[in-house]
Amino acid sequence: PSQDMLQLHRATVFGRPRPRAGSGLGRLCQRGYLVDCSKIYLDRSSSGGFVSRARAKIRRGETLELGVVRLLPVEGSRCPLVLPWSGSRWASGSGCLQFYHATSQPEEASAKVVPTGEEQFVVIALRDIEPHEELVRLDETLHSRGFAAQPSAQVSNGAGEESRWIDCSKVEARPDAWGGVGVYATQRISSGELVERGVVQPLPVDGNICQYVFTWSEDRSVWATGSGCSVFYNASLDGSENTSMTRHLEDETFEIFALRDIEKGEELTHLYKSIEWRSCFRELKAIRDDALQRKTLDNERAEFTEYWADHSSPTIETMMLDTDAASIDKLERPEILSQIPSVAGKDVLEPFG
């Protein structure tokens, strides 16, 4: 069934399969995104968490969303919220995938996650889905992992809620220069403007050994993955970050704002809040510290260069480093000359004064 759905997906959305980049991250949807969850919105569940819902009617075989996973050092038997991935690995997903309910019963599922690359996926509708319907993904490993189907949320009419919890319309995820994924602006963003908003899902992962989760408590004991493109913002290691995340810990939500004007197509970066103390960031911190030290030295060198460019002319003011040097010289020269012994009848090797 998954192969049938994948072929139907390729025929209806891509037209034909597209080549992948060498990194395995090059299969793009029509808008050019690695992450596209524009057909889905998030809603508060009756339990206080979040669930994914369809914005409009979606036909069987149609793509619900495209995305990228982060492989996590977590045991799937301890957590029903992670997805089974290749090679007995477990992953969290981008976009809204982390907030689908899951079931091991095919008759209860409305969507299926299909890997399309080493760390890429597409979610395909298993049947027609109505507007505002909660999305339930098929996970046939749940039963063997000892988990029951996750309870469904209350029905929503979607009124006024579709953009409240998640908005990543100003950004896109695409392959970066280092073979991974980065986040880039799809439009010009002004300083102080909202770049992205979203929600998080706490996971039983140790953030000291895993880089791909956010610190989500003041005591550094809770870790979470984020919606949209949030987990793909690269770190700035030279002090030039252009975004900053505001965490709302109790609500399990976040907002990312621009620290300066950002041009369309520019990569979005931020300073990882926990780079100072998480052991998994030790190497990044060393690179950051070295880069900042070099930047400080470069700034000092530039200041000295600028100073001497302005004070290198052969004048008495430059020699004495004083703009009032002429007045000082007029007062002090006679006294200094009076202290010089007579040089009458002597050969002077080097004048001074």
pLDDT, tens only, 132-184: 999 999 999 998 888 876 656 554 545 445 668 999 999 999 998 888 899 99
Beta-bridge mates of residue 197: 167, 255
Q: Which helix or strand (DSSP H or E) is residue 329 part of?
A: helix 325-338
Whole-number Å distance between alpha carbons of 124 and 261: 37
b/e per residue, 147-163, with b = 16+ CB within 10 A?
bebbeebeebebeeebe
Give the contacts of 68 (CB within 8 A, at least 6 positions apart): 25, 34, 35, 93, 94, 119, 120, 121, 173, 181, 232
The two three-digit tokens of residue 317, written as one number? 């003011």
Against a cut of 0.95, is the pTM above it?
no
Q: Which residue has the tokens 């060198």?
A: 301
Quote the pLDDT of residue 352.
60
261 — pLDDT class (breaks 50, 70, 90): very high
Beta-bridge mates of residue 198: 254
